[in-house]
Amino acid sequence: MASPQQINNLQNSFQSAVNLGGSPGIVSTSPTQSFMSSVPRRVSASRQTKALKPFSTGDIKILLLENVNQTAVEIFNGQGYQVEFHKSSLSEDELIEKIRDVHAVGIRSKTRLTEKVLKHAKNLVVVGCFCIGTNQVDLDYAAKIGVAVFNSPFSNSRSVAELIMAEVISLARQLGDRSIEMHTGTWNKVASKCWEVRGKTLGIIGYGHIGSQLSVLAEAFGMQVLYYDIVTIMALGTAKQVSTLDKLLSESDFVTCHVPATEDTKNLLSAPQFAAMKDGSYVLNASRGTVIDIPSLIQAIKAGKIAGTALDVYPHEPAKNGAGAFNDELNSWISELVSLPNVILTPHIGGSTEEAQSAIGIEVAANLSKYINEGASVGSVNFPEVSLRGLDLDQENVVRVLYIHHNVPGVLKTVNNILSNHNIEKQFSDSSGDIAYLMADISSVNQSDIKDIYDQLNATEYKISIRLLY
Ligand SMILES: NC(=O)C1=CN([C@@H]2O[C@H](COP(=O)(O)OP(=O)(O)OC[C@H]3O[C@@H](n4cnc5c(N)ncnc54)[C@H](O)[C@@H]3O)[C@@H](O)[C@H]2O)C=CC1
Ligand SMILES: O=C(O)CCC(=O)C(=O)O
């Protein structure tokens, strides 16, 4: 368990990462709507920087769903943002209602931020996925409307790898069944079809952050590791990359999936793949529920081809915890699956450890705060990555322009023409597909110029969204 001291240390590193608490690096956020209404100047009492903004960070509203870790809540509260926290995900209708006027949304793997939902978000600037997977968000549409999306690319990788390692051994020893039997008073001391994992072959599909961590753990247990990936990746230890999925399937005793949910990974393992596996082998999945065709897996277990399975993810998962939530209404085959021997089922807890969740909370909250406060999009999964060094405390009359626009010719000429009456201190621009992001710090800007700059930028044909920080 992470001690309060460890959490403190992590928070301290977060503080220095984003320069909170009045350091010279801070620029203030001015949401467009607030800026456009002539709100009288409000200055946060805790800030030591010269606060030129006409309103406080208290204008920023953040919706946090799915029990996002308290480390994130503390960071956002520390920023003075308004935080609305929910333990579970919301229904689509509730989400549409809640998302209307917030500037940021924090979710985990269950909340679906579809085009339909995002269309109702009028002030949304940024989305934080407090997890690795981002398949639950329509990333292209988010970028199209100028909403940056961040995740935590590896804070829970180790937790998933450790769970899988535990399950490899549990399947080999039929631990799940023995435990259930003991809970119901049955003493069943058997060795038949129970194995050591030493000397067996683990086949890893997807050798990324999780797959490669698992590779190291498995070798420490004396297993041979094969992996299949669509890109060539350096092997750790004595693991071997194989060139085809079929080769991995035919040579492995355990096959585990660690790929993202994409069109290509949908039903990556289905009836033909189970048929290609060794008799009596095992299947594990802690990636996404779409990756394995579970009805076919059930048939392969029933036929004795597959000796057991450990599943952490499902095509449909309950929105919240509770008795009776995992039933045939959710996925029609559930009662059939739970009746089979040597089936270990977990409720999407691969990344659910104290260490992972607190680290994710800090990492994603830091990225969101930096994006809201400074416009830095480094680490975003759907946006060009742009950042500028902070403004000095003694810099006066400086405005940071954040201009998200369509990636077409002529933009820089137009924008720089608008900014040309001021000194462009520094500027950075990058594009990703159809979206481009320009960040510029301009000086010699009077308060009275700001509205004019905003109006001119707003009138450009390329604009997707604009924020001015000052
Ligand atoms: N159960 C849980 O709680 C958790 C589940 N996950 C899931 O695990 C997935 C993998 O996580 P990471 O290892 O961090 O991702 P990663 O992005 O580091 O690695 C994924 C690997 O899969 C490979 N890949 C992609 N398509 C493939 C295909 N068709 N065939 C073979 N390889 C393919 C990629 O080249 C990459 O090397 C995530 O996308 C997420 O959906 C992640 C964390 C927790
Ligand atoms: O912890 C969660 O809610 C989701 C974990 C996960 O699946 C991920 O990180 O992609």
pLDDT in tens, 60-99: 999 999 999 999 999 999 999 999 999 999 999 999 999 9
Q: Average pLDDT in the 172-200 region? A: 98
Rg (CA), the chain: 26
DSSP code for 59: G
Is 103 annotated in the active site?
no
| Interval between CA 288 and ligand 2 midpoint (Å) | 9
Confidence of residue 343 (pLDDT cuts 50, 70, 90): very high
Confidence class of residue 45 from pLDDT cuts 50, 70 and 90? very low
Q: What is the ipTM of this complex?
A: 0.99
Closest-lying ligand to the alpha carbon of 152? 2
* pLDDT averaged over every residue in the chain: 89
- The minimum-distance atom of ligand 2 relative to the CA of 286 is 7
Give the pLDDT confidence score for residue 345 in this predicted structure: 98
Q: Catalytic: 425?
A: no
384-469 has CATH 3.40.50.1820 classification: no
What pLDDT is attached to residue 56? 56
pLDDT of residue 60: 94
Q: How far apart are CA 325 and CA 118, in angstroms?
A: 27
49-58, 113-122, 149-158, 377-386: least confidently modelled range? 49-58
Q: Do domains 61-151+359-371 and 161-345 have the same CATH topology?
A: yes
Cα(41) to centroid(ligand 2), Å: 41
Q: Contact, 366 vs 19, CB < 8 A?
A: no
> For residue 259, how far is its CA from the centre of ligand 2 (angstroms)?
13
Angle CA 416–419–420, to nearest 5: 80
Q: Can you say whether the dihedral through the CA atoms of 305, 311, 315, 316 is positive or negative? A: positive
DSSP 299: H
Ligand 2 atom closest to Cα of 108?
3
Q: Looking at the predicted structure, is the pLDDT value of residue 52 above 80?
A: no
Which sequence spans correspond to the domains of the chain? 61-151+359-371, 161-345, 384-469
Task: State yes or no: pLDDT of 428 exceeds 60.
Answer: yes
How far apart (Å, rounded) are the C-alpha atoms in residues 209 and 151?
A: 14
- Tell me the three state secondary structure of residue 200: coil
On whether the pTM is more than 0.80, the answer is yes
Percentage of the chain surpassing pLDDT 70? 88
Distance of alpha carbon 104 from alpha carbon 253, whole angstroms: 45
Centre of ligand 2 from the C-alpha of residue 432, in Å? 26
Report pLDDT for 470: 82
Cβ atoms within 10 Å of 390's Cβ, excluding its own: 19
CB 216 within 8 A of CB 204: no
Atom of ligand 1 nearest to the CA of 312: 1
Burial of 464 (0-12, 13-18, 19+ CB in 10 A): middle
Residue 241 has a pLDDT of 98
Hey, what CATH topology would domain 161-345 get?
Answer: Rossmann fold (3.40.50)
Q: Which ligand is nearest to the CA of 364?
A: 2
Pairing, β 343-345 against β 126-129:
unpaired
367 CB burial (10 A radius; 0-12, 13-18, 19+):
buried
What is the whole-number distance in angstroms between the Cα of residue 167 and the centre of ligand 2?
Answer: 18
pLDDT band at 238 (very low <50, low <70, confident <90, very high): very high
Least confident of 14-28, 138-152, 157-171: 14-28
pLDDT for residue 7? 37
For residue 39, the model assigns a pLDDT of 29
At residue 142, the pLDDT reads 98
Q: What's the whole-number mean pLDDT along residues 306-317?
A: 98
Active-site choice (103, 108, 158, 288): 288
Tell the residue number behind the tokens 């038949």, with chain if given: 192
Taking the C-alpha atoms of residue 280 and residue 304, their distance in angstroms, rounded to an integer, is 7
- From the centroid of its chain, how far is CA 209? 13
CB-CB contact of 399 with 468 (8 Å): yes
Percent of the chain with pLDDT over 90: 83
Ligand 1 site residues (CB inside 6 A) read 132-133, 156-157, 160, 205-211, 228-231, 258-262, 264-265, 286-288, 312-313, 348, 350-351
| Cα torsion angle, 448, 449, 453, 456, sign | positive
In the residue annotation, 317 being an active-site residue is answered as yes
For the domain 61-151+359-371, what is the CATH code? 3.40.50.720
